[in-house]
Amino acid sequence: MQLKMDRDDLTGFMSDHFPQVAGDYSIEKVTKDVLSVRLHIFDRNLRPGGTVSGPSMFSLADVAIYLSVQSRIGPVALAVTTNCSIDFLSRPRADRDLIGEARLLKLGRSLAVGDVLVFSEGDGAPVARAALTYSIPPGTRRDPPAPVGQISL
């Protein structure tokens, strides 16, 4: 499946539709297989004990899958999260940005399912793993869903 939005398109989309948080994120990479997003860590993302808060890691995972869906279906601002499960694996570094690497596992007419691995910048082991499902508004998909097995991990 071809990408319908590239890095510049997605960055503009975030600025237009989510200006309140657009500056918190940078899109690092967009390919047909993976989308990487950076969460810039500020004091507001930290919790006592010198670590990044769980809600900050959740927001990174959510934004990463949201943008992955947008990159495939085009600008559909009303796609929404319907489910999220997140495993916090280890303590993220408070002095480094977080990177979310998102992969879509299924992209259908009404639902998208994906996984996100969250890393402290420069570290090889993930600090969190999230599985998310997104609802795609009716009538916004103009192309048929990709056949099973065509969206690679």
**pLDDT for the residue numbered 143:** 55
**pLDDT for the residue numbered 113:** 98
**pLDDT for the residue numbered 41:** 98
Q: What is the pTM of this model?
A: 0.89
**pLDDT for the residue numbered 148:** 46
Mapped onto helix, strand or coil, the DSSP state of residue 14 is: helix
Task: Render the burial of 95-110: b for 16+ CB within 10 Å, e for the rest.
Answer: eebbbbbbbbeebeee
Tell which residue, 98, 124, 111, has the closest CA to residue 151: 111
**pLDDT for the residue numbered 146:** 53
**pLDDT for the residue numbered 141:** 61
**pLDDT for the residue numbered 153:** 38
Digitized pLDDT (tens) for each residue of the chain, 153 residues in all: 689 999 999 999 999 999 999 999 999 999 999 999 999 999 999 999 889 999 999 999 999 999 999 999 999 889 999 999 999 999 999 999 999 999 999 999 999 999 999 999 999 999 999 999 999 998 776 555 555 445 443
